[in-house]
């Protein structure tokens, strides 16, 4: 099995899109991520997975906390900014949730403290204990499927 085949297989799993945010010495850093999962209800735990080449890796190791910002359909540009798909510097406004920077008007904001870290192959899994969250009644979620951004609207159109 080659890398392309593995990527294609994983891409068949449709996901939402998040921006992970953290702050180190007053500098806010964000990274687009779809490797995210709820882990446990009691205690409330989630997990993210960060690649070994991402600058976010050392930042989360240092801050020992991160926030997950679940993006809405109208926030595709933010996803592109934090994935490095838009190259020019853009000014993004943040607000605060439990002392962590979070993205304004994200569908959901979740602030976490890192309770465990597991290096697995070329990624590191960070288990986060949820310390606060805020749900917004926003628009539909931004989706990612087969390596492309999509939306509930588009998937509904495809079925009809």
Q: Whose structure tokens read 């590191």? A: 124
Both structure tokens of 128? 């986060």
Q: Which of 51, 61, 74, 131 binds ligand FAD (CB under 6 A)?
A: 51
- Selected from 82, 108, 110, 133, the binder of ligand FAD by CB under 6 A is 82
Half-sphere exposure of 35 (CA within 13 A, CB side): 11
Q: φ, ψ for residue 3 (rounded to 5)?
A: -60, -40
Helix, strand or coil, per DSSP, at residue 151? strand
5 or 55, CB closer to ligand FAD? 55
Q: Smallest distance from the beta carbon of 135 to ligand FAD, in angstroms? A: 21
Question: If binding is defined by CB under 6 A, does position 31 make contact with ligand FAD?
Answer: yes
Pick the stretch among 39-47, 50-58, 60-68, 152-160 that binds ligand FAD (CB under 6 A).
50-58
Q: Does 30 bind ligand FAD (CB under 6 A)?
A: yes
Distance in angstroms between the alpha carbons of the first and the last residue of the chain: 35
Of positions 29, 76, 109, 128, contacts ligand FAD by CB under 6 A: 29
Q: How far apart are CA 48 and CA 139, in angstroms?
A: 24
C-alpha closest to that of 134 among 159, 109, 106, 104: 109
| Residue (of 81, 83, 75) closest to 138 by Cα position | 75
Q: How many residues bind ligand FAD (CB under 6 A)?
A: 23
Q: By CB under 6 A, is residue 5 in contact with ligand FAD?
A: no
Contacts of 13 (CB under 8 A, 6+ apart): none
Stretch that binds ligand FAD, among 3-11, 67-75, 82-90, 114-122 (CB under 6 A): 82-90
Contact between 130 and ligand FAD per CB under 6 A: no
Give me the residues that bind ligand FAD (CB under 6 A), please.
17, 28-35, 49-51, 54-56, 81-84, 89-90, 92, 144
């Amino acid at each position: 099995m080659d890398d392309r085949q593995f990527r294609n297989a994983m891409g068949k799993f449709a996901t939402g899109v998040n921006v992970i945010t953290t702050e180190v010495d007053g500098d806010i850093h964000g990274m687009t991520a779809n490797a995210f999962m709820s882990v446990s209800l009691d205690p409330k735990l989630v997990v993210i997975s960060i690649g070994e080449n991402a600058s976010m890796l050392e930042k989360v190791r240092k801050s020992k906390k991160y926030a997950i910002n679940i993006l809405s359909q109208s926030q595709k540009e933010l996803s592109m900014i934090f994935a490095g798909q838009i190259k020019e510097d853009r000014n993004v406004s943040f607000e605060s949730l439990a002392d962590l920077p979070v993205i304004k008007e994200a569908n959901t904001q979740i602030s976490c403290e890192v309770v465990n870290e597991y290096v697995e192959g070329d990624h590191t899994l960070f288990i986060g204990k949820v310390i606060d969250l805020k749900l917004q009644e926003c628009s539909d979620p931004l989706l990612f499927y087969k390596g492309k951004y999509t939306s509930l609207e588009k998937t509904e159109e495809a079925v009809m």
